Structure 1
Amino acid sequence: MVPKSFGFMMFLWVQTAANISVTGIIGSTVELRCDELNGTFILNNFRVIWQKEGEIECFVETYDSDEDLTSYRMKNQCPDFTGRTRFNEEPKEGKFTLQLLKISPKDEFTYSCVVLKNEKGKFTIHREVKTNLKVAANYSTPVLTHMSSGEETTFSCTSSHGYPQPKVYWVNHTDISLLNSTQHYTRAPDGTISVFSTLTVKAATGIKLECTVENEQLHQNLTATIDTTSPENSPSVDNTPSKTKGAVLGSVAAVSVVILLILYIVWKKRRTSVPKTYIAEHGLERNTYTLPAACHV
């Protein structure tokens, strides 16, 4: 027999703000945590249901220690989650963390773990934990190409298999200015996105351009440069994140300061260790005395 409270939960959604934010990579497994029960925990006194915000006709996953919910799950679990959910830890320890397998962009929702507790024979809401799931994927290293036609040169920058939709920047290294470009996006069956960006400029003897693909969700910046002034006339690629570049430059500067400080100390020490002479006249004789280094003024 299926608990009446579970049927009731199909139409229950407690309106509270999400208090957890999680980012999952497309195709991987993500954990939605729900394991912060307080006080003495007796498993038989609790029932749990995971819901997707706005969905009242089905649930993501559910748990009841007293009953076999296999048939109930087959009838009432949302089809998109069939075979893709499992509890990560032992519910008997009060941990109802849910693993969501093979995630995709369509899983990007706010989820709620509703914990019901038996109070004098009646199940009521004991607590609710909300998780806001964001989905993302890393973009590939940008590939730069160019082609000249008459008085114009067209540059293209491509990157693929990322999510969500990226931002693309073109920079002219001559004057460090941003250039206007056009973007075209395509979506793969798994939900990932590819971007194709083009930039057209007047033909010149040589130009150095930089194309950056930014994934804000993952704080990812991939950069490729093309320098048509080089003899090889071929693009050079740099996919180091901007923050990493700054850290490297900062480290180099710090090391340089330390080296200069060491050189100054060595120079100062050598200068003060050179023997000094004092010439005193005594009668008709000129006597020379060498002062110890420790007595130098």
Structure 2
Amino acid sequence: MQLLILVLLPHAIVTADSANVSSTGQAPLKKPSHSVGLIEGQKFEANCSLSGITAPPEGLLIAWNWKVGNEYPVRLANHFSDNTQETVTYSASQFRGRLWVHIENSSSCVLTINPVSISDSGEYQCLINGNQELLLDVHVDRPFRNIEISYEPKNVTEGEEVTVTCTADGGFPQPDVQWVSEGQKVTREAKTTVNRSRDGSFNVRSVLRKDAKVGVRYSCSIWDRFTEKLLLEFVEPIPGPKVKTPLKEVTGILGKNVVLKCRLSLPHNNSDIMKELSIIWLVHDTTGTEKIIHEVIQGDKTLSSAKYFQRTKNFWNTFVSQGIADLEIQAVTIEDMGNYICRIKKGTELIGENFVELKVTSPYSKPVITYVRRDIHQHQVLHLLCLTQGGFPIGDIQWLGPGQKDLTDQSESHIKETSDGMYKMMSDLKIVVEVDDTYTCVVSNPWLENKETEVIAFVNKNM
């Protein structure tokens, strides 16, 4: 009887070259050649190479074993073949319906388990006529369903002891739990307990006790070293001040005013504290150097760089009452583009900072379509020219023909930078005139949503 098994769903596949066959017929002692990490439910394949193996007259026996810890190996399957037959027998009830063995292209014997479960972890051994050819250390993991972190008491004050608890359930294997506070590992200060459920998964509970500080986060992470999966959560029992820029990218119109938004949030809105702060706006120049463009120290504005002189505005009263540290730049120029920093300080102490990118654009003029011939006749070849100018950055011209068909690929465009740094664009489209045909030139600016269009139609008049 000949048995043929086809498996067509590849996933985790491990291969290893065949070792030399021992002349004594005994399996030499080897360490696992690979360590494999899998997620429960995935498909696993192991390839035992037949390269260099010559089948003896009595036939070729390929055996797959499975071993957990110091337990005795369990025979999973035997694959036997000679000149007359090929048979596969399976003997491990735990893998029934999930395990197959087949020969692939006469070059390897493939063991397939689909799907894998956490109880399948262990060492997998391939023996060819008694000689070990492959040994794999397989770890099947079950991801933890979630990670939760909490603290008590809820109304903790600075200097008071706070108890931070981190829990995670239903995972396998037992994970590494780590704690970080103020940039330092504090795992050794935590007490971690692990319980095992009936299904073999683990439940983790870790408790850290510290003296609470303003603005200090306590981070708990669970790390699976085999699949390199990380779960991370943190709490900040006494929130510290936060500097935020609601919009990370702002586009201003050339010559118009633009507002760069910045917000400061304090745990307790105290106007007396706000009055002690300073607002500093900086910009990164082309060399990456920070340059102060606007500074308000406890309500008093200081001189900024000449480039922004009398072009920046900040509203101190609004900052004191609402924490709004917005900066208005008047009559923006192309040279104003860059990365801006909103920095809040108390004396020399940095409270916080955040970033916003400013782009400056100039809309293109409404396009104009022209042609050189005065008398136009049906079926006549004609060049349509679309012209637009005064835009920044480089835009795009698109042609739409009859039925809104895109004809852009049939056109030829030219772009020229003018003396003021703006761009002038022209596109030439060659057409054959037909009555009632309509052509549209569409001009777009990549930094603006609105598009400018111009339409030309050929009607049955004097044609």
Using the size of structure 2 for normalisation, the TM-score is 0.40
Q: Which residue of 2 aligns with 1:196?
A: 426
1:136 alignment partner, one of 347, 361, 381? 361
Q: Which residue of 2 aligns with 1:221?
A: 451
Structure 1 residues 195 and 128, CA gap change in structure 2 (3 angstroms)? same
Secondary structure, aligned partner of 1:92: helix
Q: How do 1:240-255 and structure 2 match up within 5 A?
A: none
Q: Which amino acid aligns with 2:368?
A: V
CA deviation map 1:241-270 (0-9, x unaligned): xxxxxxxxxxxxxxxxxxxxxxxxxxxxxx
Q: Which amino acid aligns with 1:185?
A: I
1:221: Cα distance to partner? 1.9
Q: Distance in 1 between matches of 2:301 and 2:362?
A: 37
Q: Which residue of 1 aligns with 2:388?
A: 159
Aligned residues: 207
Structure 1 residues 108 and 226, CA gap change in structure 2 (3 angstroms)? same
Q: Does 1:56 align with 2:252?
A: no
Q: Which one scores higher on RCO, CA 8 angstroms, separation ≥ 6?
A: 1
Q: Which moved more, 1:107-116 or 1:43-52?
A: 43-52
1:173: Cα distance to partner? 0.8
Q: Which amino acid aligns with 1:52?
A: V
2:414 alignment partner, one of 174, 179, 184? 184
Q: Distance in 1 between matches of 2:365 and 2:393?
A: 13
Q: Is the 8 A contact 1:141 1:159 kept in 2?
A: yes
Structure 1 residues 103 and 67, CA gap change in structure 2 (3 angstroms)? closer
Q: Which residue of 2 aligns with 1:92?
A: 320
2:278 alignment partner, one of 40, 47, 54? 47
Q: Which residue of 2 aligns with 1:24?
A: 252
1:97: Cα distance to partner? 1.2
CA deviation map 1:183-235 (0-9, x unaligned): 2334455544332222234x5455432211122322112222212344278xx
1:46: Cα distance to partner? 1.4
Structure 1 residues 107 and 18, CA gap change in structure 2 (3 angstroms)? farther
Secondary structure, aligned partner of 1:132: strand
Q: Distance in 1 between matches of 2:359 and 2:301?
A: 32
Q: Distance in 1 between matches of 2:284 and 2:339?
A: 6
Q: Which residue of 1 aligns with 2:310?
A: 83
Q: Which residue of 1 aligns with 2:441?
A: 211
Structure 1 residues 95 and 186, CA gap change in structure 2 (3 angstroms)? same
Q: Distance in 2 between matches of 1:33 and 1:53?
A: 17
CA deviation map 1:39-68 (0-9, x unaligned): 324244312211112553631111112767
Structure 1 residues 101 and 17, CA gap change in structure 2 (3 angstroms)? closer
Q: Is the 8 A contact 2:311 2:329 kept in 1?
A: yes
1 or 2, which has the higher helix percentage? 1
Q: Distance in 2 between matches of 1:47 and 1:26?
A: 29
Structure 1 residues 32 and 17, CA gap change in structure 2 (3 angstroms)? closer
Secondary structure, aligned partner of 2:461: coil
Q: Is the 8 A contact 2:445 2:451 kept in 1?
A: yes
Q: Is the 8 A contact 1:49 1:113 kept in 2?
A: yes
Q: Which residue of 2 aligns with 1:255?
A: none
Q: Which residue of 2 aligns with 1:109?
A: 338
Q: Is the 8 A contact 1:187 1:194 kept in 2?
A: yes
Q: Which runs of 5+ in 2 are unaligned?
A: 1-243
Q: Which amino acid aligns with 2:291?
A: C
1 or 2, which has the higher strand percentage? 2
Q: Is the 8 A contact 1:144 1:224 kept in 2?
A: yes
Q: Which amino acid aligns with 1:50?
A: W
1:153: Cα distance to partner? 1.7
Q: Which residue of 1 aligns with 2:298?
A: 65
Structure 1 residues 112 and 68, CA gap change in structure 2 (3 angstroms)? closer
Q: Which moved more, 1:164-173 or 1:182-191?
A: 182-191
Structure 1 residues 221 and 44, CA gap change in structure 2 (3 angstroms)? closer
1:164: Cα distance to partner? 2.5
CA deviation map 1:162-191 (0-9, x unaligned): 332221111221682424222233445554
CA deviation map 1:132-187 (0-9, x unaligned): 21222333322111124997421111223333222111122168242422223344
Identity over the aligned pairs, expressed in percent? 22
Secondary structure, aligned partner of 1:182: strand
Q: How do 1:276-295 and structure 2 match up within 5 A?
A: none
Q: Is the 8 A contact 1:104 1:191 kept in 2?
A: no
Q: Distance in 2 between matches of 1:68 and 1:172?
A: 58
Q: Which amino acid aligns with 2:372?
A: M
Q: Distance in 1 between matches of 2:315 and 2:301?
A: 19
Q: How do 1:1-40 and structure 2 match up within 5 A?
A: 20-38=248-266, 39=268, 40=270
Structure 1 residues 219 and 181, CA gap change in structure 2 (3 angstroms)? same
